[in-house]
Structure 1
Amino acid sequence: MSQLHRRGFLLGGAALGAGALVAGCTGNSSDKDTAPQVKAPPAASGSSEAPGKPVTIGFSAPAADHGWIGAISINATAQAKQFSDVTLKATEGTNDVNQQIQQVQTLIDAKVDALVILPYDGKALTAVARRAMEAGIPVVNLDRVFANALSYRTWIGGDNYGMGVNAGTYIAARMKQAGKANPVIVEVAGLDNLELTQQRSQGFREALEAAGMKVAARQAADFTAATGQRVAAQVLQANGKIDALWNHDDDQGIGVMAAIKQAGRDNEFLMVGGAGSKKAMDDIKADNTPLKATVLYPPSMASSGIILARMIAQAKSLGDLAELEVPASVTTYSAVVTKENVDRYLPTAFS
């Protein structure tokens, strides 16, 4: 459960502390006083990790044609194996929307106890996810959100806007540290027609603006190494001086780094990546390339999705929260990985 951000107070000591505080505040009150009484919620029904009733969880995701997507499926399978009471029925990854719909329908017909779905296209899979919910099968929606909340019980995914904010905040801090008043900051984005790309760019731009800086040049690629190299070469050619570069995606970043090396500009500026690949983290740790940080978009959300699906199917709750039910949404945090903390995050990296 380390990947879930547990907000709220711990039920044990914190609840006791609250009770003691109430007693202390009302100890000198007369019988006529009507001070509000604080009542702690009932404790959660046992550890969420303790074995429960056997459940079957269906899992569906796109084809593993990208390191991050591949890690999603690997993490989901590995997490399910950690539970003796979970049977995982995983479909073959596909980027064919109609095929994924059919696969999910097959899982519904098999009467699985819960579904974890990363849709290739959230809008297109909304109807079949809704059918699952109507059949009494709770759906955990991974990352690419369905068109309406009637199609899922819980959503867990990344924070694209926050990813941009944290990349911009880190770069701004490094620029101020270096004494650069008007730094030239460029951005190599992902697919521009995707909302997630737009959100990342918005967060990046607004974080820089808050620090009195701006994006000098921006160009979109399409999350592949080949386009990353081509686009980065164009950006480098158009900008004779660069102080910092943010690349949205670490797989795409392989091409960006190749373009930087080919241009002989390895030591000119710092680069920040995105998502959290093992190669990026290895480069950050070695500290011998322009890449000095990457902003996470953790595929460990798939592991957490399996954990949440199991808890929902077994009517369990998050033990460290006061809530009696699993939350309706969980947003992962886009931590900035640097040389100083890379060892902590390496176990979460994807190949």
Structure 2
Amino acid sequence: MRRNHLKGVLAGAAALAVLTACSTDESGADPGADETSDGASSDSEWFAQADFDQQREQMDATFEGNPDEPWLQYIDGPMTDTSKWKTDKPMKACFANASISNPWRQTGWITMNQQLKVLEDNGVISEMETRDAGDDDNKQIADIDYFISEGNCDAFIISPNSTAALTPAVERACETGKPVVVFDRGVETNCATTFIHPIGGYAWGIATADFLVDNLEEGDKVVALRILPGVDVLETRWGAAKKIFDENGIETVDYFTGANPEKIKSIITDEITKGEVHGIWMDAGDGSVAALEAFEDAGMDYPVITGEDEMSFLRKWEETGLNGLAPVYSNFQWRTPLLALEKIAKGEEIPTEWVLPQEPITEEERDDYLEANNGMPDGHYAKFGGEDLPGYPDVWQERQIP
């Protein structure tokens, strides 16, 4: 199909994209799961044209650093001077984590702990005290305040549960004068020493919508399966995709699923009974197999689909020969906060906004990633980036979650 390409125009000195966030949140919340959102996420609350344009530009950016170590690459931009924190003594890191409640976060948490072992052995970090908020804003706020008052922390690492609610707590951590590393999900302040994240939700939405538009015809129908409302990176994924679908005459209907495989299968079954479904768009791919099973049960051909780099989708894709794309929200980012502390301990400059590569897996690359991750469980993510860490591959295969 001929696509109306949007021209990416960077907005001068664009502000930090603090509303970049995380992967899926499968905490069990399921608000509005039986209703479509009718594209409401494209409104001004969640959609910012300047951020859309910036992330489209960043998808083609040249990244600094070794491409064999994408967790250390970054887009050239403002740097933070860390010389005041230079030290020869091992640092105690205090990590306030949103949760490990879904496979993406579990995979990253395993990788992070294996990276920690290396830095402990090298005398960079003495220990990492971690508090898990279990997807609860109030719990994470209390965790951060505990670290500030009683944690004896040399540095803070924070993966916020949500954007606005955690902002004041992050600011309080900054006020201690200790280095603060925010990663994955963003907050509404730029006080952190560095904010680490892949390109972002708009880039995910652009890559996936472009792929579907290229493989569909004007007037075709796409069913969008979304996890839940109110998570910034998920909202911007859909906001970007919806904009591109609308501009190219693709009919869409979207549902919140609560990441429930039974609900996903039921939604697709109902949509099939209404008429032909040509495409499936997902803001996280770990429910993709359930969506495809609905087509199998109905005896229908598979649609064009965008999933994710979770192994269950990659395996289903190979097994069926369907037309697919695996967008990525780079799981290897879980290594970067600890490696940022290593650079801080050396007094080295680090990116103020540390934007990591975010490249989808195409059909041409799929088999290489399947081979490289042979033996990994279905909930593993192909671009986890831990192949050079101790314990590989056993720790990830056995899901040894600390």
Aligned pairs for 1:2-151 (under 5 A) are 2-8=70-76, 53-83=89-119, 84=122, 85-86=124-125, 87-108=127-148, 109-150=150-191
Partner-residue secondary structure (3-state), 1:157: strand
Aligned to 1:124, what secondary structure does the other structure show?
Answer: helix
In structure 2, how many angstroms separate the alpha carbons of the residues matched to 1:114 and 1:191? Answer: 32
SS in 2 for 1:222: coil
**Aligned mates of 1:208, 1:305 — CA distance in 2:** 35
The CA distance in 1 between the partners of 2:258 and 2:364, in whole Å, is 30
How do 1:1-351 residues align onto structure 2 when only pairs under 5 Å count?
A: 1-8=69-76, 53-83=89-119, 84=122, 85-86=124-125, 87-108=127-148, 109-150=150-191, 152-158=192-198, 159-175=200-216, 180=217, 182-209=219-246, 212-238=248-274, 240-265=275-300, 267-274=301-308, 276-284=309-317, 286-288=318-320, 290=322, 292-316=324-348, 325-342=349-366, 343-344=368-369, 346=373, 347-348=382-383
- 8 A Cα contact 1:141 1:155, kept in partner: yes
Counterpart amino acid of 1:162?
A
Task: Give the Cα separation in 2 of the matches to 1:57 and 1:291.
Answer: 44
Is contact 2:223-2:279 (8 Å) kept?
yes
Shift of 1:290: 3.8
| RMSD over aligned Cα atoms | 2.9
Q: Which residue of 2 aligns with 1:31?
A: none
TM-score with structure 1 setting the length: 0.74
Pick closer, same or farther for the CA change 1:105–1:3 going to 2, 3 Å. Answer: same
How far 1:106 moved relative to its partner? 3.1
Report if the CA contact (8 A) 1:184-1:241 is conserved. yes
| Partner deviation per Cα, 1:142-172 (whole Å, 9 max, x = no partner) | 222223223x221122411110100011222
Identity %: 18
The 1:172/1:330 distance shift into structure 2, 3 A limit, reads same
Instruction: Kindly name which structure, 1 or 2, has the bigger radius of gyration based on alpha carbons.
Output: 1
Residues 302 and 270 of structure 1: CA distance in aligned 2, closer, same or farther (over 3 Å): same
Deviates more, 1:197-206 or 1:94-103: 94-103
Shift in Å, 1:326: 1.0
Question: Structure 2, unaligned stretches of length 5 or more?
Answer: 1-68, 374-381, 385-395
Aligned CA distance change for structure 1 residues 257 and 269 (closer, same or farther; 3 Å): closer
Number of residue equivalences? 294
Residues 246 and 101 of structure 1: CA distance in aligned 2, closer, same or farther (over 3 Å): same
Aligned-pair distance for 1:67?
0.9
Q: Which of 1 and 2 has higher RCO (CA within 8 Å, sep 6+)?
A: 2
Structure 1 segments (4+ residues) deviating >6 Å: none
Native 8 Å contact 2:303 2:322 kept in 1: yes
1:283 & 1:315 partners in 2: Cα distance? 46
